[in-house]
Structure 1
Amino acid sequence: MSPSPRAVGLAVVLALALLVAPWPLVVLVAIALTGVVGADAMAARRPVTVTRTVPGRLARGVAAPLSVTVEGLGARRARVRQPLRPDVQVEPAEADDGLEARVVAHRRGRHELPPVAVRVVGPLGLGRWDHQGAGPAAIDVDPDLPAARRLATAVRQGRFRDPGRRRRGAIGLGTDFDRLRDYQPDDDVRHVNWVATARRGRPLTNQYREDTERDVVALVDLGRLMAAPVRSWDATVPDRTRLDVAVDAAAALAAVADAVGDRCGTVAFDDEVRARVTPHRASGAAVVRALHALEPRPVDSDPELAFRVIGTTKRALVVVLTDLVDAAAAAALLDAVPVLVRRHAVVVASCADVDLIVDAAPPDPVDATTPIDGDPDTGTPGTGPPGTGTGAFDAGFTEAARRGAVAARVLDARDRAAAELTRRGARVVEAPPDRLAAAVVAAYLDAKAAARL
């Protein structure tokens, strides 16, 4: 229970009335006002029915409707407020007598919306009572599925990369025997079945059934390096973790595999396997369910463990979604890749760091009209390049130069790690957060077009 601003205003007027009116009269009016405020607050205390409607499943970064209705108010008024949680935005967060808002989750996983708070004001507008309704609501936030579906639609319609949609058989003699048939002049002589030819007395050739369904496996690193935040070139897009970007890429890969008829699976790992989906048809939804709520842990990842889970039964495209810091941090991956490439086509995908790219860029040239030296008589600091004065320009330029040098060393270390992975047989894909999913899909379609699966 609490008095409304109207009741507080009346109390202030009564206090000022003591200056001009007899105090017994003012006291009587104050007692009456207190009783009226209490009665109004008791009227506001009567229960109301609060109903909140919000989807139980959202896509990260995609707005969804949220509505709150309050029934049983009668002559009373209510102020409805939806308390906020980190990584979940509600706009607007409060309104009168009900709420029609848009909810946007900026991070995938499981989130819980707190109960709705409703402040009811009595019929006279003097007393208020706070009600709590529509208890906590659990919502599951998937990765950026609309972007994944757009990529899959572009591939299906031939607008992304057409060669990847052409199904090609394996290089060589094929995979599965289908039947014997008579030899044709344009048949490959290597397909001739000499035993059947000698038995039948006419040339016969083997016909093979091409295996058009390829296996694609997304290996998602959940180690400590994947907890680092990354920002987009677009300043309006909230920061994400490297794992968020990797899960978006895995969802896009699964959606495109469904579109072209391939089998997709996933393995999520750190120092142990935390989720696994074996490759099968139409597996996009299963991959998203397995990955959407996983979070990184402060441990070093063991890619060799994940590689052993994949096995060597059938050739597949293995996309390792990880972070390439330097050769030392990627030592376990460098040691494990040569074993995997003997059987599978391997792509190592990493998210480029926009901050490092910006810091490593050369500084803008100094304007020739800018004063170089300060005034020695007045003590005014210089504004020229380093070494020409003692002003803020020197400090700023030096700080930018230091950041640029550190960023250049980090990028150089990443390049060396990528070059070593390439030398050991893997293809390395690196792109900014907004483009990593498309880059991974392009590498997958290139592998299909080149018949490397």
Structure 2
Amino acid sequence: MFTARFFALTLLFPALLLLGTWLPFIVPIAVIYGLGLLALLWLDRHYAGSVEQFRIERKHDNKLSLGVQNRIILRISLRAPRPVPITIRDEPPLLFVGAESAILRSILVPHETTELVYQVRPLKRGNYSFGDLTIRWWGPLNFFIRQATIPASAPVKVYPNLHEIRKYDLLARRDQLSGMGLHNVRLRGEGTAFESLRDYTPDDPYKIINWKATARRARPISMDYEPERSQRVMIAVDVGRMMRSPIRVDDPDGDSWNMAKVDFVINSVLLFSYVATLKGDQVGLLIFADQVQQYLAPRAGRAHFQQLLEMMYAVESQPVEADYGRALNYLGIQSKKRSLVVVFTDLSGSRASESLLMHMPRLLPRHLPLLVTIRDPVLDQETSHHPTTSDLVYRRAIAEQLNNERSLLLENLLRRGVLTLDIAAEHLTMAVVNRYLQLKARRLA
């Protein structure tokens, strides 16, 4: 592939020939110029080198996280004796937000490794695949561009948001969970029942160092403690028709994207169940639509959390109405011991509201029910606007009516002893975890 520089220089050749019609002595100069240009082009192509001079690998997490930015790193090593300008294009799955940013440019330095980074945001869980890498590089004279495709296709799985778990672990070790939006969280290691010894990490507070074990093993050793009281947490997730509807999120950095309500819920359930597992609680999961789709009995421990993770990875929403009565009756039969029962759903009409109002209070007094619903941002926007036309007045009136019906249902449930949490999707995860920690601290469950 020829460059703009080569084409510009090539245009001088016919210009010289044309000038030679008036000045014949210029014709041999033009011929020499043309032959020299062709010779330089051949040399430039030759010394551009082959694709073997590059070593390229793609790096990313084994499991990408749903709904957040995931870093994709391209590591490129150059074995040529000179710097080489390149353009490289990756082929992330087209359904990822940010796939268009996978065209990167750099100037490679000989015998060094360069890292080029772009980010993608998956909006749906499942199996995906990266494609091949295409690289272009320039010859030393910038006359010729070479291009090659490097086989690099590889499968990748998108799981619920694992980034939040890593962030939680990091901030918990630093005792900085308030920076994540969590409140009244007891740091792991501050319980009363000794659990295990482990190697010290730089973020550990000094008070959990076991000095005797440190002296015995000749390296710093920290202690972990079990939380003071184990409880049962039963999570029920509605995957019916209304949970398929997308919610638009506007990031502070200016990006906007849509993700299904059920995926916001799955991300929230992941961190919620992880925190509950660290607190020593037994966590169970029930997935339902018009039928009970899956059920995992409450258990404690990290191995059980991995089962929860795989179960949440495979959840799919269904184009049917949710049957709360069938799901909650099934839960009542399967879970006889007192539990905190957290139901994630969407208030989708009068029939669903009546069903929730009928069946949620029946969990009492054996269980403590908590209903978690996602607020509809469209309704909030409609009620906040000042209407200027009759159509806008009508739309605002409908939005206010729906919000009033929603508020009335939540108030009726609260009067009957059912706890409620109605929150915007982008704040759902932290709000759920905070409510759980408050209930655990008050020992209501």
Q: 1:326 aligns with which of 349, 358, 362?
A: 349
Give the number of aligned pairs: 376
Counterparts of 1:161-310 in structure 2, within 5 Å, are: 161=184, 212-232=229-249, 235-236=252-253, 238-239=256-257, 240-282=259-301, 283-292=304-313, 294-307=315-328, 309-310=330-331
Equivalent position amino acid for 1:3 in 2: F
Query: What TM-score does the superposition give when structure 1 sets the normalisation length?
Result: 0.68
* 1:29-428 aligned within 5 A: 33=37, 37=41, 40-41=44-45, 46-48=50-52, 49-59=55-65, 60-64=67-71, 66-75=73-82, 77-84=85-92, 85-89=94-98, 93-96=103-106, 97=108, 98-107=114-123, 109-110=125-126, 111-133=128-150, 135-147=152-164, 150=168, 153=172, 160-161=183-184, 212-232=229-249, 235-236=252-253, 238-239=256-257, 240-282=259-301, 283-292=304-313, 294-307=315-328, 309-310=330-331, 311-330=334-353, 333-334=356-357, 336-341=359-364, 343-361=366-384, 363=386, 396-422=388-414, 426-428=418-420
Residue of structure 2 equivalent to 1:3: 2
Q: Deviations over 1:289-337 (max 9, x none)?
A: 3324544343333344543553133222121111113223445545543
What CA distance in whole angstroms lies between the structure 2 residues aligned with 1:339 and 1:258?
A: 27
Report which structure shows greater RCO (CA 8 Å, sep ≥6): 1
CA gap of 1:44–1:328, structure 2 versus 1, over 3 A, is farther
Which range moved further: 302-311 or 257-266? 302-311
Distance 1:450 1:99, change over 3 A: closer
Counterpart of 1:20 in 2: which secondary structure? helix
Q: Tell whether the 8 Å contact from 2:17 to 2:27 is kept in structure 1 after alignment.
A: no
Counterpart code for 1:114: G
Cα distance change of structure 1 residues 138 and 80 upon mapping to structure 2, 3 Å threshold = same
More helix by share: 2
Contact between 1:319 and 1:346, CA under 8 Å: does it hold in 2? yes
**Residue number in structure 1 paired with 2:216:** none
Residues 40, 127 of structure 1: 8 Å contact kept: yes
Q: Which residue of 1 aligns with 2:199?
A: none
Q: 1:426-445, aligned counterparts within 5 Å?
A: 426-445=418-437
Deviations 1:238-263 (A, max 9, x none): 43331232122212321221232111
Contact 2:272 2:432 in 1 (8 A): yes
Q: Distance in 2 between matches of 1:278 and 1:452?
A: 21
The CA RMSD over aligned residues, in Å, is 4.0
1:447 is displaced (CA, Å) by 3.9
Go from structure 1 to structure 2 and tell me whether the alpha carbon gap of 1:21 and 1:408 turns closer, same or farther (over 3 Å shift).
farther
Runs of 4+ in 1 over 6 A off after TM superposition: 154-157
TM-score under structure 2 length normalisation:
0.69
> Could you tell me which amino acid in structure 1 is paired with residue 308 of structure 2?
V
**Alignment partner of 2:371: what SS?**
strand
1:80-138 Cα shifts (integer Å, max 9, x gaps): 22345333437674012454214242535244333222113334432323212251243
